[in-house]
Amino acid sequence: MSETEFEVTVDKDGTELNRDSSTYTATERSESQVIATEYDFWLFDFDGTIVDVEWEYTRSVFDRVGNQLGMSFSDNEVEQLWHGLGESRNAQVQSLGIDTDTFWSALHEVENPTARAEATYLHDDAAVLLNELHAANIPIGVVTHCQSFLAEPVVDYLDIGDWFDTFVTCTPELGWKPDPDPVYHAIESLGQDPSKPTAGVLAGDAPSDVGAAWNAGLAGLHIERHSPEQRGRCVLGDYRVDSLDLIRHQNSIQ
């Protein structure tokens, strides 16, 4: 999780969309039309899309944060904050009466990169799709808000470094999704022309991933790891799936 993650969806012209979930449509195209090989390259978000963290680790992190702040977090508050569900994380923190800078400082202090890596697991559907894309020689990249000091130990622990042709960690200098700049950086790192990015797709579990895809001229695929009821809204996208298996099963990659 990152204090810098945007929790809004933006339209293709960069305009923020209405947050009222009743105004959202689920998808623009059905899952059956997701054809993996019609794209020249694939970009992915990391946390929540390719990997996730065991609940015990997440719960223990918030217990330690709570001890530092002299308060406790409910399981629902932990779930919402960790996965970025509902309103923005900073808005949720403020609603709990906590200064946002104080919260993020405490969280970063208690996070242990090694312990987090050991508690991280691959989503099976993502692993299969990534291996099939790799076998088809389709370039693969990651654009993530997960900072290097946390992401690198995870990649090493899971031994998946050779799955990706580029791995971009967002920074204040590079920008944060839905800003297209980190996406452009990833496209260039793949040897592609970011001024002609229409042959690529970006898949992620957050509204900011679809926003970044659209702002960079890519197709946006939303993988819904949590129900719209948990999130409090549906997320617009060119594609919307609740499992990456849908892509693999419906479109065999030769």
Residue 142: what residue type? V
**Which of 73, 89, 117 is the last residue before a domain boundary?**
117
According to DSSP, the β-strands at 51-53 and 41-44 are unpaired
Same domain, 133 and 84: no
**Residue 146 one-letter amino acid:** C
15 within a domain of the structure (yes/no): no
9 within domain boundaries: no
Domain co-membership, 26 together with 67: no
For residues 44 and 165, state if they share a domain. yes
Distance in angstroms (rounded) separating the CA atoms of residues 19 and 26? 14
Look at the chain and count its residues.
Answer: 254
In a domain, 61, yes or no: yes
Q: In a 3-state reduction of DSSP, which class is residue 209?
A: helix
Q: Are residues 102 and 129 in the same domain?
A: no
- Omega before 178 within 30 of 0, i.e. cis: yes
What pLDDT does 197 receive? 62
Contact (Cβ atoms closer than 8 angstroms) between residue 225 and residue 52: yes
Measured CA to CA in angstroms, residue 50 lies from 57, 68, 122, 176 at distances of 18, 31, 6, 19
Report pLDDT for 25: 32
Confirm if 218 and 238 have CB atoms less than 8 A apart.
Answer: no
Same domain flag for 28 and 49 = yes
Residue 126: what residue type?
A
In a domain, 91, yes or no: yes
In terms of domains, do 110 and 130 share one? no
6: in domain: no
Query: 138 and 44, same structural domain?
Result: yes
Q: Is residue 167 a part of any domain in this protein?
A: yes
Scanning the chain, the segments in alpha helix (DSSP H) are 55-69, 75-83, 89-95, 100-110, 113-118, 124-135, 148-158, 181-189, 207-215, 228-231, 245-250
Please check whether residue 142 lies inside any domain of the structure: yes
Q: What is the pLDDT of residue 229?
A: 65
Domain that residue 164 falls in: 21-53+120-250
Strand, coil or helix: what is 75? helix
Return the pLDDT at 232: 63
Structural domain includes residue 139: yes
Q: How many CA atoms lie within 13 A of 152 on its CB side?
A: 4
The CA–CA distances, whole Å, from 253 to 39, 42, 44, 77, 246 equal 12, 14, 18, 40, 13
> What radius of gyration, in Å, describes the C-alpha atoms of the chain?
18
Per-residue pLDDT of the chain in tens (254 residues, 90 and over written 9): 655 443 333 443 333 433 332 223 333 444 446 778 889 999 999 999 999 999 999 999 999 999 999 999 999 999 999 988 888 888 999 999 999 999 999 998 999 999 999 999 999 999 999 999 999 999 999 999 998 999 999 999 999 999 999 999 999 999 999 999 999 999 999 998 888 766 899 999 989 999 999 999 999 999 998 767 667 677 889 999 999 987 754 444 44
Verify that 218 and 108 share a domain, yes or no.
Answer: no
Identify the pLDDT of residue 248.
52
Same domain as 181, residue 157: yes
How many domains, in total, are found in the chain? Answer: 2
Task: Answer with the one of 69, 87, 117 that is the final residue of a domain.
Answer: 117
